[in-house]
Amino acid sequence: MESLREFICYNQKQIIKYEYTISNLHKDFRKVYEDSKSTHEEINISYEKLHIESFLLMENIFKENFNFIQNTFGLLDEDLRFTIKIINNEYVTDIYRSHSINSLFYESKYTENTAFDKIMNHDKKYFHSDNLEELYKTGEYKNPRLREKDFLLKNSIEWKDCWNDYDGKENNKKNYYNSTLVIPMSITSDNEDKNSNFYNAFFEEQNESIAKSQTRSIWGFACFDSQQKDYFKSLKHIDFLDLGYIISDILSIYLVYFYNYTITSKTILEYENSLKNDNKT
């Protein structure tokens, strides 16, 4: 409980600080954009500052939160991996990884990964497996980085050797996992939300960066991966599912602010549309 209290206390301050910082960056951009004396270069500099600084601040907050994850989820696996992915049209894109890879913004179609596909297209609340190898053998798991299924079935290749690296090349023997927990970073709607500005903004207005249904809007996913088989079963001292939801729900607030100020903002959209129109002429 002490560790959880520290997690909530840390994020209470960071959420307030993040909203304050990003809102002021947005105000600065809007001021420059609406000033008739501003040059295209000045507007673009302010636009990039808003996106870059708000993203880097969010990334650093996620990094600091990984310390809490290591002290809870990662107590029995020092190599536990934590990833945050956002939805971008039909793709999921990495925006934070606790481990280094050759490309931070690795992306793949969510339909090519069983975990994301189950949540997005089959309305599953989460995805959890302690034995991906067995699921893969029986055809119940897919991942765009997996290969060599025939060799695996013939026992002529090990599970860790079935994975390609993130750049599509042969795996370096480290970028694989066998246990996974994937929690959507989302909000749900109830009857009280209907016909409100909140409902219109988050459940009805078209925004390709957010997956929507009548009851849920999903911004991204919090993913916990271990190379160990039956890893989550070994965490008998914690309710890993409840803890996963707490982490996902708290960290999703940063994504909501990021979307609101850098992607769905009317001022931002107006500026981006003006750039598109300029390119057409």
pLDDT in tens, the chain (281 residues): 678 899 999 999 999 999 999 999 999 999 999 999 999 999 999 999 999 999 999 999 999 999 999 999 998 999 999 999 998 878 899 999 997 655 567 888 999 999 999 998 888 999 999 999 999 999 999 999 888 777 777 777 889 888 888 765 555 557 899 999 999 998 876 666 555 565 565 555 545 555 555 567 888 999 999 999 999 999 988 899 999 999 999 999 999 899 889 988 899 999 999 988 776 65
Dihedral of alpha carbons 74, 79, 80, 83, sign: positive
36 in a structural domain: yes
137 in a structural domain: no
Give the structural domain span for 57: 1-72+250-281
Nearest to 21 by CA among 65, 55, 67, 44: 55
13 in a structural domain: yes
17 in a structural domain: yes
Q: Which run of H or E residues covers position 59?
A: helix 40-70
Contact 52, 196 (CB under 8 A): no
pLDDT at 206: 45
Phi, psi (deg, nearest 5) at residue 220: -175, -160
193 in a structural domain: no
pLDDT at 18: 97
Domain count, the chain: 1
57 in a structural domain: yes
23 in a structural domain: yes
pLDDT at 79: 92
pLDDT at 167: 65
198 in a structural domain: no
